[in-house]
Amino acid sequence: MTIRDDDPHYLVAPDISRADLARRVTGTDHTGQTQDISVVEERPLTIYLNSQEIVTAMTIGDYPEELALGFLANQGMLKDAGDVTAIDYDAEIQTVVVRTARPTDYEEKLKKKTRTSGCAVGTVFGDMMEGLEGLTLPPATLRTSWLYALSHKINRTPSLYLEAGAIHGTVLCQGDRPLVYMEDVGRHNAVDKVAGWMIRNNVGAADKILYTTGRLTSEMVIKTAIMGIPVLASRSGFTAWGVDIARQVGLTAIGRLRGRRFICLSGEDRLVRDAAPGAVRDEPAKNARKGGRA
């Protein structure tokens, strides 16, 4: 896929008009007044690799093929994306089957599955770290003006996050332009959708930035590094292991990106400070959002 530098629009953006992603629920507030709010849907999606069931993830239900493809790739189960021969989605039984030309057998690998700190049944396999061995992320430049522009654009994009909360967003960016905005109940699902979209559209990672509304945990750092993206930025904070792994693989990790403020805990050498923080409008300490926080 060719990405035009002069195209200001998202290639993929949240579709808040889809009635199946959220619904209105009536309740009462702290004063006893009746109130209608939007709540996101949550449904199981079972992912198969050929004939083997791999995982059942809780998801909002959009982009199931991208989610399945990205999940398998980020778990190291797809050695070569070109090996995929078909992706079959059955909406009735909420199942995706990714088929490959080569035989696969991950029974032993599945036995080493562990639950991570990611919300909504996030999983990472015991040997996932093996995918980082010998990994070298590409050199890249990260201008602070891009960070400020991306934060401003993304935080004002109509989304389920703003409409209903209880959801995470992950955005693939290039320079100061957000390209692909995916949302899900788990931040790991959102980043897997981005990975799957990149694979299906043959989009390179070397000049990209990954933005997330969620915490920079070990899982998020590992997935970003495996995708080959050199920069990961978030509105939220870090975990210590996430920082350790980012430093190990040379990933630029930017957290607490709000208004003019951010902190870089890894990959400082990529930063070009070309924007004066004082010229950027700061974000209120308590930024009220419609529908509450995710």
Q: What is the chain's mean pLDDT, rounded?
A: 86
Q: What is the pLDDT of residue 282?
A: 81
Q: What is the pLDDT of residue 16?
A: 86
Question: For residue 48, what is the enclosing H or E element?
Answer: strand 43-49
Q: What is the pLDDT of residue 30?
A: 86
Please tell me the distance from the alpha carbon of residue 73 to that of residue 226, in angstroms, as a whole number: 9
Q: What is the pLDDT of residue 182?
A: 97
Question: pLDDT tens digits, residue range 236-283?
Answer: 999 999 999 999 999 999 999 998 899 999 999 999 999 988 888 887
Split at pLDDT 50, 70, 90, the class of 5 is very low
β-pairing verdict for 252-258 and 231-234 = parallel
Q: What is the pLDDT of residue 6?
A: 45
Q: What is the pLDDT of residue 287?
A: 47
- Residue type present at position 195: A
**Is 127 or 200 the better-scoring residue by pLDDT?**
200
Question: pLDDT tens digits, residue range 149-169?
Answer: 999 999 999 998 888 778 899
Question: For residue 161, what is the enclosing H or E element?
Answer: helix 160-163
Mean pLDDT of the region 109-119: 52
Residue 2 has pLDDT above 50, yes or no: no
Please tell me the distance from the alpha carbon of residue 95 to that of residue 86, in angstroms, as a whole number: 14
Q: What is the pLDDT of residue 285?
A: 54
Q: Please name each of the domains of the chain with its CATH number.
A: 43-126 (3.10.20.10), 142-279 (3.40.140.10)
**Is 119 or 137 the better-scoring residue by pLDDT?**
137
Q: What is the pLDDT of residue 108?
A: 62
Kindly report which listed range (56-70, 105-119, 206-220) carries the lowest average pLDDT score: 105-119
Question: For residue 68, what is the enclosing H or E element?
Answer: helix 64-74
Say which residue the tokens 């083997």 belong to.
Answer: 52
Question: pLDDT tens digits, residue range 15-40?
Answer: 888 889 999 999 998 899 999 998 99
Question: pLDDT tens digits, residue range 69-104?
Answer: 999 999 888 877 778 999 999 999 999 999 998 888
Q: What is the pLDDT of residue 78?
A: 87
Mean pLDDT of the region 116-138: 62
DSSP string, 198-253: HHHTT---TT-EEEESS-B-HHHHHHHHHHT-SEEEESS-B-HHHHHHHHHHT-EE
Q: What is the pLDDT of residue 276?
A: 86
